[in-house]
Amino acid sequence: MTRFGTWLLLLGLITACQSETHAVFSPAPAPTPHTAPTAAVLQSADIPGGLGVCPGSGPMDVYLSVLETSDPSLAARLSDQWFGLLKTGADAGAISIFAASSSACQAELGATTNVRAMTSFVARFADSSEADRAWQAGVFGFAPPPPGELTPGLTVGTSTGLGASSFTYDRPSVRLACWRRSVYVAVVVVSNLDLNTFRAATAAIDRRLN
């Protein structure tokens, strides 16, 4: 081999070694897992004093099973609504009810005219498109109002503080919020509690919906 050929061979080896030495491979960051609905719904730390957790609070299948023993008719109606969400793509759901009296635990979504109570529901979907379709269709009978509808106590969109896909109702004894965030749909129903408590409850859930 000529001196020139030897020089080319050495140069090639040096270049290859340098390439191997300086090659940096950065692994793709793992996606942040979506919060489980059982962790997204209202927790004891979110609730004002004087309210206790109702039996069955947790995964939807557990809640519906407990409710069936006390009110089979209500359990059947809520089961149908939950199965409807499953058909539209929900892969998990949870509910939590906190009340000052056990009588509210057996009321639909804990809503009563004379007992302080707080109910939250969260369903998770495979993607945001599925979640939006479910929200548009209605969650437990609560569907977005038609554009331009003017109803006392109704707030729609970003004015709720819960994003564009949201609406709230403010009634004398019951306040309701229903919204879609990321791959979730959420509902909060607050009975006989003040507006600040209601807003704190929705904010607590909303920041968990990733």
**Tens digit of pLDDT for each residue in 168-192?**
999 889 999 999 999 999 999 999 9
If we measure between CA atoms, which residue out of 151, 146, 185 comes closest to residue 169? Answer: 151
Are 86 and 32 within 8 A, CB to CB? Answer: no
Tens-place pLDDT, residues 75-133 = 999 999 999 999 999 999 999 999 999 999 999 999 999 999 999 999 999 999 999 99
Predicted TM-score (pTM) of the model is: 0.84
What was the pLDDT predicted at 148? Answer: 81
Spatial neighbors of 108 by CB under 8 A, at least 6 apart, are 74, 78
* Torsions phi, psi for 109 (to 5 deg): 55, 30
Confidence of residue 147 (pLDDT cuts 50, 70, 90): confident
For the chain, give every domain's residue range.
35-206
What whole-number percentage of the chain has pLDDT above 70? 85
What was the pLDDT predicted at 149? Answer: 80
